[in-house]
Amino acid sequence: MPSTFRQWVYVRPMQDDAVDAGCFDMRTMPLPTLAEGQALVRVRLINIHSNTRMRMALGAIPLGNTDSANYACAEVIETRDPSFKVGDVIACQAGWQDYAVVSSSDAAIGYGPASAATKALNRTNSQWTYAFRPSLVKAWTSDVLMDVFGTSGMTAWFGMRECGPILPSDTVLVAGVTGSVGSLAAQIACAAGARVVGLAGSPAKCAWAVETLGIAACIDYRGEGLADRIRAAAPSGVDVFSDGAGGDLTGLVVSSMNEGGRLFSYGMTSAFYASRLNRPTGKRPLRQTFGISEDVETLLTQRNIRSECWIVDSFYDQRLAAEDALSDLLKSGALKPVNTVVEGFDKLPEAIASLYKTQSAGKLQVSFA
């Protein structure tokens, strides 16, 4: 049993909103003795989130602190918590650490409370903390557990389900198609037989998306005449728009969507990846945060477009159904995990910095199993 653990801490403020490895420092601290109701976990893999830089800028990750809200896959190595057994592989919010103390009585960090049904399913007080079923752990590695069976896969699957049924007659336009959620949503829509068109940030990324994800076409959203190019790639119009980008793109696409279409609005990467961060002042409704401005609301009403906008934990009481469906898709070959795994706890700062420089495909993860 280790006596210490390592933790990455945000120590040096970003200069001009740029994250570099020097923003972080590692510290080593003694592991606390477990109290009743706690478990010690060895972290196997840490997900790196696109909102990290914005959270650093807004003080949600305060200087001198780790990101306690960060998701990880971990193995229980000692337990005084009846909800966890030694050997359980769990999803949790462990911070940027190699070991962590968790407790089933802890609520989610940085999110609202879990529903009663989700708490009962998870046997914890947090929507994000639960033991994966042994069948999943046996079948899939930690990176797949935290990608396809983590918040990305869940968001993609519930998003397509709530915009469904996705029909072979549908054209589904997917923003951020090289991203973690978008790459999975695109494949799920393809598996339903729809014509899927992606949006990505360069010709090379578009070529990658068509080849790897099997989508019909992909458009570089950075070029001129985007609305015309969307019309050309989707000659019968856009029926479903999966939008994790937000910003001006949302209005541009919605204004050319078919009547009776469906909008899945789940994120704001246009803000997260902007070269200079536009720090929001005050709390806005989720729909506005994700790009559904008043003008977009008007368009949605005029065109009778249904919109889905939520945080995925709203559906976490149905997590097992999503896991089973995603398992079937993986086993059939219709779905491929899309992730980039960086090996080594030491590499976490470089991995975070790289997210805002190169934006590798799918979920970025740091593994040290």
Contacting residues toward ligand NAP, per CB under 6 A? 50-51, 151-152, 155, 175-176, 178-182, 200-201, 205, 221, 244-245, 247, 249, 266-270, 272-273, 311-312, 359
Give the nearest distance from C-beta 256 to ligand NAP in angstroms: 16
Give the nearest distance from C-beta 87 to ligand NAP in angstroms: 28
Give the nearest distance from C-beta 66 to ligand NAP in angstroms: 19
Measured from the CB atom, is 50 or 142 closer to ligand NAP?
50
For 135-156, letters b (16+ CB in 10 Å) and e give: ebbeebbbbbbbbbbbbbbbbb
Give the nearest distance from C-beta 11 to ligand NAP in angstroms: 24
Measured from the CB atom, is 8 or 272 closer to ligand NAP?
272
Measured from the CB atom, is 189 or 245 closer to ligand NAP?
245
Cβ-based neighbours of 277, under 8 Å, separated by 6 or more: 17, 53, 54, 57, 271
Measured from the CB atom, is 76 or 257 closer to ligand NAP?
257
CA distance 50 to 54: 8
Name the phi and psi angles at 45, rounded to 5: -155, 140
CA distance 30 to 245: 41
Residue of 314, 315, 368 whose CA lies nearest to 346: 368
Measured from the CB atom, is 40 or 219 closer to ligand NAP?
219
Bond from prior residue into 165 cis (ω within 30 degrees of 0): yes
Give the nearest distance from C-beta 218 to ligand NAP in angstroms: 9
Measured from the CB atom, is 80 or 115 closer to ligand NAP?
115
Structure tokens at 333: 């070959």
- How do 89-93 and 71-79 pair as beta strands? antiparallel
Give the nearest distance from C-beta 201 to ligand NAP in angstroms: 2
Residue of 71, 16, 84, 63 whose CA lies nearest to 44: 71
Measured from the CB atom, is 50 or 124 closer to ligand NAP?
50
CA distance 326 to 122: 19
Give the nearest distance from C-beta 261 to ligand NAP in angstroms: 19
